[in-house]
A and B are shown apart, each in its own frame.
Chain A
């Protein structure tokens, strides 16, 4: 049988780190292959060698049975390989048509010819894409951008399409739509590799699964002959339970209450729109929403890092509006935000663990000097307690692996003993083991009576971990649901704004019965 792609003994290292060790992979024509592995297992590196971004140190690549050498993305395109990256490669100020057109070669000099438009429209209808070719990318939602990326590689004549974690940014309904498109592409004879670490998606869409672990090739199995458990074991290397604990704690009074909060984003548009909610001690409140629905602005507003336009924020009966970030921290509200690059906002990557421990507290000591002695002791305490894997407390944070980096960040936040912990994407990009450690840390805080706001991405995780979930769409509250009485589909509909259950059935969502707000404050 002739394969669309065959990789034999591919190896690639970066300095002393072997990202891929003797990987073998084959992709049949008209097949969907899932490439499964934890973060850092070498999935993206391997695919970047197919798309010409990296070159293998050794090993060989066969396309349609012929041995090839891919030296650049252009070579890769000529061989009919198209990659849809996790971070889209689109020109924001251009329209969809222009974005596709700029990569087309040999189609005349003009950007807006009718021929080109017809060609693109034909391709779109053949695969069932709905897309407005004249819309600017800057005005597109995430799912539209992804559609455009896929359409783009199809228009360039790709027969082999590689998708790097395409579902990470999509809602449940959008994922369904994406999978329908993928099936259609498969029926047209295209071959697809989909990189993911979500098992349910692997089971749903793929024909075969290739598993990588720490850069090693583990094996390939037929999807029909396997199950979640076996795949997890292949991926992690040992048996683990997939259940997240949700201890039930006696809830206390509302610690943090937010009323009518309105916040603008950096561009001056409304990002958080008259939101009401509260967090009690001993509960984890999840925040679900499509990326960029106002999560970041909400977190920054509560932490005092962003000016609020309107509304009230009361912490244990005292208004925190207008307080400096430092004051708010001293009040017991701690906020940590893991951005997409995972280091940018909580930690200084070149500085040591010790220095990162005191980022927020270095100024509490007297005198002009930094007290590194007690800082190092604190760092060592956190390293022991959270089992952070590091040569020493003086190691720069950027040398640590992702899981350990996030433990350092959470360790610092809980070290100050907050009673409200705001944490956004704390398991972003972490493998299964590290994620569970983070959930344990959060549950430990919850048991201590801390109120936790958990801004998350993965609905399965949020349903298991959080007591309640509030859903936002375009900065508006769509409703607060109890994790035991809802479904992923319901939350998905709320995330896209299709369903709004605020104040339905006689409830007043987001306003506590035993609120610390006085009537005057509410009216004012």
Chain B
């Protein structure tokens, strides 16, 4: 006989949520700590290295910050873009695919840009990426509007199509393939000419890339867009009830097309900034932002300031895991992935626990 059942909490206190998150993270760190002990590693040392992302005792500490920001920028922009479409209840899980289209088109510009000034090249890369990703986004939205296709399936399949497209490009030695290095027998992606590499503001040894500044500005813009503009208002009405939007005289189809274009174009922009910062392209260039971005958007409850904070935390987790893993021969990057997975999973459980409580069923009293 069932004695327990779940009840949704009436209120959602921010303190309680934070406490549950903290408990969730502690639990996951303990689980991974046991794994580390089995491997003969002191978990406290490992976690210390992870949280300081390799800054402490490192002569090239500024490199760590630069590396962290390279993880952070694409994740932030992608999460912002996904939050925008989720707000409209358009389940765009095609972040990976949209990112790859943008990355490929930005690279086409990059590889053919020798002779152009740096600023012009990077702007062209961004435009090419935004336009290509945006058009794919519009196409999927149009199928949804016109034929009521399932956007979740369409965007999901897009991810795999684009993954295999970029693998094809990366594996095919041919005259047309300007993506690959000419001086190598094996197929290897080439490096961008200097004109296509992201520059920044030098602050001592550290360089603050323009992409970081763009990402922070975008956060502010999207926050204002969703909260104060008419278009943002339309997005929230369509997301809340598309029948209501239609009854209010809104052109629901147009709003879906427009929002999905903006969402995918932003992901394309994230890709252009990422390839330009990396100075090359690869089939792992997405760093799974299309997937992680979904988690960021949900953990933040689609609130833009929260997306910003969550993106920083997840980036530290990712980059810190990798940084720490490099110092121990017993573990590799895969362990970093495992740790990340366990932490995200327990945070999601904590989120559930913060919203629901388990109630013991009172035994019915005999009268």
Q: Which residues of A approach B to under 8 Å, CB–CB? A: 8-9, 14-17, 55-61, 67, 69, 71, 303-305, 324-326, 329, 335, 337, 339, 343-351, 355, 359-360, 362-363, 368-370, 372
Residue in A324, A337, A362 whose CB lies within 8 Å of B233:
A362
Residues of chain B with a CB closer than 8 A to A362's CB: 230, 233
- Shortest 5 CB-CB contacts between residues of A and residues of B: A15-B10, A325-B249, A348-B240, A359-B248, A326-B249
In residues 227-277 of chain B, which contact A (Cβ within 8 Å)?
A: 228-233, 236-237, 240-241, 243-249
Nearest B residue to A365, CB-CB:
B230
Interface contact A15-B231, CB-CB below 8 Å: no
Q: Cα distance A105–B362 when bound, in Å?
A: 32
Residues of chain B with a CB closer than 8 A to A69's CB: 1, 364
Interface contact A363-B230, CB-CB below 8 Å: yes
Interface residue B8 (Cβ < 8 Å from any Cβ of A): yes
Residues of chain A with a CB closer than 8 A to B59's CB: none
Residue in B241, B364, B366 whose CB lies within 8 Å of A344:
B241
Q: Which residues of B approach A to under 8 Å, CB–CB? A: 1-2, 5, 7-10, 228-233, 236-237, 240-241, 243-249, 361-362, 364-367
Listed by A's residue number, 8 A-B pairs whose Cβ atoms lie within 8 Å are: A15-B7, A58-B365, A59-B365, A60-B364, A67-B364, A348-B244, A349-B240, A370-B228
Interface contact A350-B247, CB-CB below 8 Å: no
Residue in A56, A303, A325, A368 whose CB lies within 8 Å of B230:
A368
Residue in B8, B231, B241, B249 whose CB lies within 8 Å of A360:
B249
Interface contact B247-A351, CB-CB below 8 Å: no
Chain A CB within 10 A, most for which of B2, B230, B236 = B230
User: Closest Cβ of chain A: how far from B149's Cβ, in Å?
Assistant: 18
User: Closest Cβ of chain A: how far from B217's Cβ, in Å?
Assistant: 17
Q: Cα distance A57–B3 when bound, in Å?
A: 11
Interface contact B5-A329, CB-CB below 8 Å: no
Q: Specify the main secondary structure of chain B where it touches its partner.
A: mixed
Interface contact A348-B236, CB-CB below 8 Å: yes
User: Closest Cβ of chain A: how far from B263's Cβ, in Å?
Assistant: 18
Nearest A residue to B246, CB-CB:
A305
Interface contact B229-A344, CB-CB below 8 Å: no
Q: Cα distance A390–B240 when bound, in Å?
A: 20
User: Closest Cβ of chain A: how far from B191's Cβ, in Å?
Assistant: 42
Interface contact B244-A350, CB-CB below 8 Å: no
Q: Cα distance A460–B323 when bound, in Å?
A: 76
Q: Cα distance A71–B240 when bound, in Å?
A: 34
Q: Cα distance A507–B233 when bound, in Å?
A: 50
Q: Cα distance A351–B2 when bound, in Å?
A: 37
Nearest A residue to B366, CB-CB:
A60
Residues of chain A with a CB closer than 8 A to B245's CB: 348
Residue in B1, B9, B240 whose CB lies within 8 Å of A15:
B9
Interface contact A57-B10, CB-CB below 8 Å: no
Interface contact B241-A349, CB-CB below 8 Å: yes
Q: Cα distance A324–B248 when bound, in Å?
A: 11
User: Closest Cβ of chain A: how far from B367's Cβ, in Å?
Assistant: 5
Q: Cα distance A303–B246 when bound, in Å?
A: 11
Residue in B5, B228, B232, B244 whose CB lies within 8 Å of A347:
B244
